[in-house]
């Protein structure tokens, strides 16, 4: 994604300035980039350098996942005060737990109270209660449930034409709709030809070379 963004930016710059760019991208660059705000918190004393000790790393009880009575789970993320206040109102949480929202020393008590509340209801009951509110929540869905979620069906996120769900290409370019997904190739068709490396197959795909031609190249005698 980082490389794609860089290529688009370079193409736009070239179109406007007639100057080209070499796009240098790496996974470690992108990882460090998205961690920028965390390092900002750390520099300002707003982030504890320990696991599950902060608001966004599983430490805060109001930013996490809870198991319901049916074994399924629901996620919570009411970080802003007004959203948390709505959660407190709907679940009728204790005043002590609420007062300790910004004090990590009180987080275990609040977490225990939330765990007790959610274990008394099924996931779909919690979803029905919170849907349409500002609680900032979401049901944790499994792979078979995701294609049938109302948001995904409304946008036709999955293609079912092959008899099973496949995510459609994204992003979309309107007014032309995204193309449908082809069915996956049989396992035999995905087998690498003998003596071929991953890089050979990638180059073949980029150049439009057929697998048969790739096989011939791999077994051809070396030219001197």
- What pLDDT is attached to residue 53? 93
Nearest 10 degrees: Cα torsion 140, 145, 149, 153: 150
Query: What gap in Å lies between CA 134 and CA 153, rounded to an integer?
Result: 22
- What pLDDT is attached to residue 96? 72
Q: Which residues share a beta bridge with 84?
A: none
- What pLDDT is attached to residue 172? 85
Tokens representing 107 are: 């987080």
As averages over each run of 10 residues, the pLDDT of the chain (224 residues) reads 93 94 93 95 95 93 96 96 92 79 90 95 96 95 96 93 90 73 62 55 53 55 52
Contacts of 203 (CB under 8 A, 6+ apart): 209
Query: What gap in Å lies between CA 120 and CA 206, rounded to an integer?
Result: 55
CA distances from 121 to 89, 95, 129, 148, 176 (A): 17, 22, 10, 22, 44
Please, where in the chain does CATH 3.30.1540.10 lie?
64-139
Whole-structure pTM value: 0.74
Query: What gap in Å lies between CA 202 and CA 23, rounded to an integer?
Result: 20
Q: What's the burial of 3, exposed, middle or buried (CB within 10 Å: 0-12/13-18/19+)?
A: middle
- What pLDDT is attached to residue 98? 74
Do residues 23 and 11 touch, judged by C-beta distance below 8 A? no
Which three-class secondary structure state does DSSP give residue 2?
helix
Which three-class secondary structure state does DSSP give residue 75?
strand
- What pLDDT is attached to residue 184? 67
Do residues 67 and 119 touch, judged by C-beta distance below 8 A? yes
Question: For the chain, what is the largest distance between any 2 Cα atoms, rounded to a whole number of angstroms?
Answer: 83
Fold of 64-139: formyl-coa transferase, domain 3 (3.30.1540)
Do residues 181 and 175 touch, judged by C-beta distance below 8 A? no
């Amino acid at each position: 994604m980082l490389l794609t963004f860089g290529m688009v930016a370079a193409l736009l710059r070239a179109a406007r300035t007639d100057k080209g760019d070499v796009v240098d991208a790496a996974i470690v660059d992108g990882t460090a980039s998205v961690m920028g705000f965390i390092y900002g918190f750390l520099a300002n004393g707003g982030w504890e350098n320990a696991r599950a000790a902060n608001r966004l790393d599983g430490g805060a009880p109001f930013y996490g996942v809870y198991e319901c009575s049916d074994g399924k789970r629901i996620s919570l993320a009411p970080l802003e005060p007004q959203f948390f206040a709505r959660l407190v109102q709907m679940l009728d949480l204790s005043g002590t737990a609420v007062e300790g929202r910004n004090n990590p020393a009180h987080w275990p008590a609040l977490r225990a109270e939330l765990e007790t509340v959610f274990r008394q209801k099924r996931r779909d009951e919690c979803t029905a209660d919170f849907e349409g509110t500002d609680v900032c929540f979401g049901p944790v869905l499994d792979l078979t449930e995701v294609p049938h979620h109302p948001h995904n069906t409304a946008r036709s996120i999955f293609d079912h034409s092959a008899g099973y769900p496949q995510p459609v290409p994204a992003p979309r370019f309107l007014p032309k709709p995204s193309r449908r997904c082809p069915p996956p190739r049989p396992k035999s068709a995905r087998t690498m030809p003998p003596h071929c490396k991953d890089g050979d197959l990638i180059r073949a795909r980029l150049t439009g070379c057929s697998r048969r031609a790739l096989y011939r190249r791999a077994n051809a005698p070396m030219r001197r």
